[in-house]
Structure 1
Amino acid sequence: MLKPRLAALCLAAGLIVAGGGYALAQQQADDDSTGGENTPLNLPNDVAVFGKFDPTIRKATAIVNGFIITDTDVDQRLNLVLAANGQKVSTEERDRLRLQVLRNLIDETLQIQEAKSNDVTVPSSDIDQTFQRVAGQFKNTPDQFTAFLKSKGSSANSIRRQIEGELAWQRLLDRKVQPFVNVGDDEVKQVIARLNASKGAKEYHVGEIFLSATPQTDAQVHANADRVMDQIRKGGSFVAYARQYSEASTAAVGGDLGWVRAEQLPDAIAQILPEMQPGTVSPPIAVPGGYSIIAVQDTRQVLMSDPRDAVLSLKQMTITFPKGTTQDQAGPRVAAFAEATQKMGGCGGAKDVAAKLDADVVENDNIRIRDLPPVLQTQMTAMSTGQATTPFGSVTEGVRVLVLCGRDDPEVAGKPSFDQIYNQMEQERVDLRARRYLRDLRRDAVIEYR
């Protein structure tokens, strides 16, 4: 039975639709009366309706072991993906995304059902806590985030269901899979020995999207992986696609694999990784069990310090221009700004120079070089204390320079501990068994499509 307020909303929606229909029919009647023949419909006064009409009933898209996934469920999750992606997609791509979202919802349902059948439940308080943390990442309160989701055609319930699925599945794996995964001490020692032998070799901060395939589905999965890669290269969010598409356990963290060396990954990935630059995405790579799409976020050298890890103390000086100022009109002032900041004698003279140039000054004592835009990383790595960058920015948003007030150089990177390596190897094996577990759940499920 509907709650009073919900029933009232449904009634109001029904009246709006009915009113709109009447207005359209009345407009048509008015148009017809101005000319031409008007054929009456000859409807009876007493209309017998066969069957029950209930506008509150949502048609099922799929029924998974008795659990109904509706069109609304799919649409809300799809809109969540599109909002996270921040990119317009074609109708054809939207249809493909919708199909993938439905598959994800089916997997999510199977995971929740399997967890419950093993007495693994997720308290609503845990879901609330995660939802609050996600809202915080958007700099929203939970109520603000709920309103944001609604404005995008999604809902808080949709993302809460996804949170429940991820937490339930992880807790089930912790109980039924992880205790039976073994990593030997000798295996870990071998990895440490290889690390020592590879000092100075490259490490990669890698993201992954893994799509499983069988010989029967290989062509279809490969084509789907191509489309995902194409959307990401056009500006789509790798993290958003990883969360919705990837079948690896890293999907929950946006596909983040952390720092790895090429030899720690499957051979096919290890071969292509050294050719990739930070910020690039690979084409689909055939790996055992399916295809992987790899994103390289950053690189560093094994057991070596990286100058980009230096922590800087900076002053940022900014000059702004009246609205409508052209590049040519701003040129002389930018040139004077560049000359003055190069000659001011470091951070001590910044205040006086800023006053003469009507510039704003902001200080920050905790900026890593690696967190700056690439072009500024190059300058900062080579700069000495007291020097300023060349001006950068735009006439509309302001022209800036960064003045280096101090630098804390990084220590030589320590090698991963025994426990860190052990945990990584264990997680990889849990991930493999988890994929097999989910595959078996799909195979045994009763799924009806409507």
Structure 2
Amino acid sequence: MFSRKPFPLCSLLLLALILGACKDKPTAAAATVLLRVDNRTVTLEDFKRDFAKSLPANQQLAAEERSELERSYLVQTIDRQLALAEGQKLGVTVTPQELETALEEHRRDYPAGGFEQSLLERNITIEQWRQELEERLIMEKVARQVVYTRVDVTDKEVDAYFRDNRQEFDRPAQVRARQIVVSSETEGERLLGLLRQGSSFEALAKEFSLSPDADDGGDLGFFGRGEMPAEFDATVFNLAVGRLSPLIKSEYGYHIFRVDEKREAVRLTLEQVRGEIRDKLRAEKEETAYEKWLQELRSRASIDVKWSLL
């Protein structure tokens, strides 16, 4: 079935790629050291294990592709070690409450039990994941404290971006809709009957819909024409707010839609989007500043990599 939400494993893969699980810990005398970053070491065994955990479960890779990903992962591991070392120097820590809040935010990206199941499939314990999350939060704090405070966006830059990218702010008509997706016409007609009798759309979506947006009561958010399959557009853009659609068949199953809100096409003014532009430019500047900061750390650090082991 169709959903505009990203598949939850994507966020877990991104977290694993950024974090790894290379810890400062004693290793056996016979362990092969793959990486030294100042006084921190990463063994080949630890790296191979953590790299494997960073990949989607049961993914098969060609030898060349795997080698390329390993090298990229090792570069990210170096940067991570450098950032964590800076955090240690600055005395940056994460409180238990901050850790629990971040953990719950990640859990909300999954259906009930889905987060734990994802960890199980990847052979990662919740304790390991907490440690990795804590390190990510430390890295974010270090970046805010050392890098992002130096970033500024001026009104002149905002004005120039708006002038040079005026077409971005001509917004097409949009609708906000909900859907229920089922596998059979019979089930769809049954639910449509319940809705017409006054049953809650959100409750039925949560209980019966097969779409990933079911946990949000079938909420698809706002979207414009062309962002959804053609049969969706033909229905929702001609549906009055609050009205139910008939049963619609698609390659994903049988759908029932309800339009909750409509936005007319609008040509936004500079003042309406000033904050949006400022946030966009700030994010771009922060990314550039962070990479420059990492380059400075690399230039000062003693880094020894045995690339031949990969």
User: Which interval holds the TM-score relative to the shorter structure?
Assistant: 0.5 to 0.7
Contact 1:79 1:153 in 2 (8 A): no
Question: For residue 298 of structure 2, what is the aligned residue in structure 1?
Answer: 442
Residue of structure 2 in register with 1:267 after alignment:
none
The match for 1:392 is: 250
Alignment partner of 1:312 is 2:182: no
- Gaps spanning 5+ residues in structure 1: where? 1-53, 204-301, 322-336, 342-346, 353-360
Residue in structure 2 matched with residue 64 of structure 1 by the alignment: 37
Q: Report the counterpart of residue 113 of structure 1 in structure 2.
A: 85
Once the two structures are superposed, the pairs formed by residues 51-450 of structure 1 within 5 Å of their partners are: 58-83=31-56, 87-123=59-95, 125-139=97-111, 145=116, 148-149=118-119, 151-156=121-126, 159-194=129-164, 198=166, 201=167, 203=168, 302-307=169-174, 310-312=175-177, 319=184, 366-368=219-221, 370=223, 373-381=228-236, 383-384=238-239, 388=246, 390-393=248-251, 400-402=254-256, 406=259, 408-412=261-265, 414=268, 416-449=272-305
Alpha-carbon contact 1:76-1:153 (below 8 Å) kept: no
Counterparts of 1:368 and 1:79, CA distance in 2 = 35
> Measured at CA, do residues 125 and 112 of structure 1 come closer, stay the same or move farther in structure 2, by a change above 3 Å?
farther
Secondary structure (helix, strand or coil) at the match of 1:62 reads strand
Give the structure, 1 or 2, with the largest relative contact order (CA under 8 Å, sep 6 or more): 2
SS of residue paired to 1:88: coil
Count of residue pairs the alignment pairs up: 253
Length-normalised TM-score, structure 1: 0.46
In the alignment, the residues of structure 2 paired with residue 418 and residue 78 of structure 1 have an alpha-carbon distance, to the nearest angstrom, of: 42
Are the equivalent residues in 2 in contact too, given 1:188–1:422 (CA < 8 A)? yes
- The one-letter code sitting in structure 2 at the alignment partner of 1:391 is K
1:438 shift after superposition: 0.4
Q: Deviations over 1:341-366 (max 9, x none)?
A: 8xxxxx779879xxxxxxxx979685
Paired residue type of 2:250: F
1:410, distance to aligned residue in structure 2 (A): 1.5
Q: Which runs of 4+ in 1 moved over 6 A?
A: 54-57, 347-352, 361-365
* Cα distance, 1:379–1:97 mapped onto 2, change above 3 Å: same
* AA of the residue aligned to 1:66: N
CA distance in 2, matches of 1:62, 1:119: 24
Give 5+ residue unaligned stretches, structure 2. 1-26, 198-206, 210-216
Change (3 A) 1:75 1:149: farther
Shift of 1:100: 1.9
CA shift, 1:445, in A, is 1.3
